[in-house]
C-alpha cells in the first residue's frame, strides 16, 4: 500500500499555494511601495521612508519567503511569466498552466484589495491620494517614475523577465545546490527592482501589474497590456533558451 502522505499535491492544492504566495508578494511589495517608500521626513530633514532600495528588498524578501513556504507545494511560481517559461522549458506541465495563471491573478487581486482595505482606515485622503498616484502601478511616459518611454519599458521587461526566469529554471535544476533556490530567486528579484523601478516601476510579473492597476486608475489600466504581454514574452524566451541550451534532459517532464 502506498503512503498517502507522500502523494503529490493536487492541482487545487497547488493553486491555493500559488494564490497565497502571490497575495503575499503583492501585499508585501506593493504595500511597501505604498506605505513605506516615501513615508515622511525627520526633524533633521532625513527621509524616514525606505525608498527604492527598501521596495526592491521587499519584493525580493517576499518571493524568498514564498519560495520556502509554499514552493514545496506548488513550485513557488507566483508569476504567470515564470509558469509559462517553466512550461516551455519542459519543467512544468502545460495542462496546469491556466490553473496557475488564474490562481496567481486572483491571489494578486486579493493582495491589492487588502491594501485598499488598510487604506480605508488610514489618514484622511491617504487612499484617494494613493489611487490618484497610480497605486504603485507600472507605467511608461507620464506614468514612469523616471520619465522613460514605451520602448524602454518593453526592452526592460523582456530582458529582466528573461533573466529572472532563467535564474528560476537554473536554480531549481536537479544539478543545482539543494536548498538555495529561494535565495537566488529572491536576490535576483531584488536586483531587478533596483535596476528598473526608475524606468517603469518594475513588473516582470503580470499578476503583480494587474493587481495594482485595478486600483490605479485609467492611466495604469490603459498601459497594463505592456506589463502583461512583454513579461510573458521574456518568460517564453527564457524557457526556449533554457530548454535548448542549458537544461539537462533529466530536468524535463516526460513528453
Torsion-angle region of 49 (φ positive above 0: left; ψ -120 to 50: alpha; else: beta): beta
- Residue 46, pLDDT score: 58
DSSP bridge pairs for 47? 41
Tell me the C-alpha distance between 224 and 254, whole Å: 36
- Residue 177, pLDDT score: 85
- Residue 41, pLDDT score: 52
- Residue 40, pLDDT score: 57
Total H helices, total E strands in the chain = 9, 0
- Residue 4, pLDDT score: 43
Question: Three-state DSSP class for 242?
Answer: helix
- Residue 49, pLDDT score: 83
Closest C-alpha among 188, 165, 174, 181 to residue 240: 165
Those residues with Cβ within 8 angstroms of residue 33's Cβ, 6 or more apart along the chain or in another chain: 55, 58, 136, 201
Say what the alpha-carbon torsion angle 245, 248, 249, 251 is, to the nearest 10 degrees. -120
Q: Which sequence spans correspond to the domains of the chain? A: 8-251
Helix (H) or strand (E) holding 62: helix 51-74
**In terms of pTM, does the model score above 0.85?**
yes
Those residues with Cβ within 8 angstroms of residue 102's Cβ, 6 or more apart along the chain or in another chain: 15
Under-50 pLDDT residues of the chain: 1-4
- Considering the domain 8-251, what is its CATH architecture? Up-down Bundle (1.20)
- Residue 186, pLDDT score: 97
Amino acid at each position: 500500500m502506498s503512503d498517502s502522505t507522500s502523494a503529490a499535491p493536487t492541482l487545487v492544492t497547488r493553486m491555493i499555494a500559488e494564490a497565497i504566495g502571490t497575495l503575499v508578494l503583492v501585499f508585501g511589495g506593493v504595500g511597501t511601495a505604498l506605505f513605506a517608500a516615501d513615508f515622511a521626513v525627520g526633524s533633521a530633514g532625513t527621509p524616514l521612508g525606505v525608498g527604492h532600495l527598501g521596495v526592491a528588498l521587499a519584493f525580493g524578501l517576499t518571493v524568498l519567503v514564498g519560495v520556502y513556504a509554499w514552493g514545496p507545494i506548488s513550485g513557488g511560481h507566483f508569476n504567470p511569466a515564470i509558469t509559462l517559461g517553466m512550461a516551455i522549458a519542459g519543467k512544468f506541465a502545460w495542462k496546469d498552466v491556466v490553473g496557475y495563471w488564474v490562481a496567481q491573478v486572483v491571489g494578486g487581486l486579493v493582495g491589492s484589495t487588502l491594501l485598499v482595505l488598510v487604506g480605508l482606515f488610514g489618514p484622511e485622503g491617504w487612499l484617494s491620494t494613493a489611487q490618484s498616484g497610480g497605486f504603485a502601478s507600472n507605467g511608461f511616459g507620464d506614468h514612469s517614475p523616471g520619465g522613460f518611454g514605451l520602448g524602454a519599458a518593453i526592452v526592460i521587461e523582456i530582458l529582466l523577465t528573461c533573466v529572472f526566469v532563467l535564474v528560476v529554471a537554473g536554480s531549481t535544476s536537479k544539478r543545482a545546490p539543494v536548498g538555495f533556490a529561494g535565495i537566488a530567486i529572491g536576490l535576483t528579484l531584488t536586483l531587478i527592482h533596483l535596476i528598473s523601478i526608475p524606468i517603469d516601476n518594475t513588473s516582470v510579473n503580470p499578476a503583480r501589474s494587474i493587481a495594482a492597476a485595478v486600483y490605479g486608475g485609467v492611466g495604469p489600466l490603459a498601459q497594463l497590456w505592456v506589463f502583461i504581454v512583454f513579461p510573458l514574452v521574456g518568460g517564453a524566451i527564457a524557457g526556449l533558451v533554457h530548454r535548448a541550451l542549458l537544461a539537462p534532459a533529466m530536468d524535463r517532464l516526460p513528453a
